[in-house]
Amino acid sequence: MIKAKIYKPSKSAMQSGRGKTEKWLLEYERQAPLGPEALMGWTASGDTLNQVRLKFDTLEQAVTRAKKEGFEFTIVQPQERRIKPRNYTDNFVYREVAD
């Protein structure tokens, strides 16, 4: 049985905004181990299915597709970002240094 993972990607360290993080991804898990390729020595695998990533607008659409195809899947819920509200004047508030 093919295993899949459904998740919402987090932003990369190179992103300042949260673009491309609103869609859900269905990604197949690796079926064959990685190993060195005989000719060039690069990392290779006989499994090319793990290169496929399907994008969905909602979690329900991704789950429906996985069930329709008969995949065994796991759902990874995203961590919600907590924003601590701050004012510009907080940058200039005097804070006593504890020794």
Residue 85, in any domain of the structure: no
Domain count, the chain: 1
- Its domain, for residue 58, covers 1-10+20-31+43-80
Q: What is residue 92's predicted lDDT score, i.e. its pLDDT? A: 87
Residue 99, in any domain of the structure: no
Q: What is residue 59's predicted lDDT score, i.e. its pLDDT? A: 93
Residue 86, in any domain of the structure: no
The arithmetic mean of pLDDT across residues 69-89, rounded, is 86
Residue 75, in any domain of the structure: yes
Q: pLDDT tens for residues 13-70? A: 777 777 767 889 999 888 888 888 888 988 888 788 878 899 999 999 999 999 999 9
8 A C-beta contact, residue 75 and residue 60 = no
Residue 52, in any domain of the structure: yes
8 A C-beta contact, residue 9 and residue 25 = yes
Residue 98, in any domain of the structure: no
Q: What is residue 99's predicted lDDT score, i.e. its pLDDT? A: 65
Q: Where are the beta strands (DSSP E) in the chain?
A: 3-7, 24-28, 35-36, 43-44, 53-56, 72-76
Residue 47, in any domain of the structure: yes
Q: Cα separation of 74 and 27, whole Å?
A: 10
The arithmetic mean of pLDDT across residues 60-81, rounded, is 91
| CATH for 70 | 3.30.160.190
8 A C-beta contact, residue 35 and residue 9 = no
Residue 65, in any domain of the structure: yes
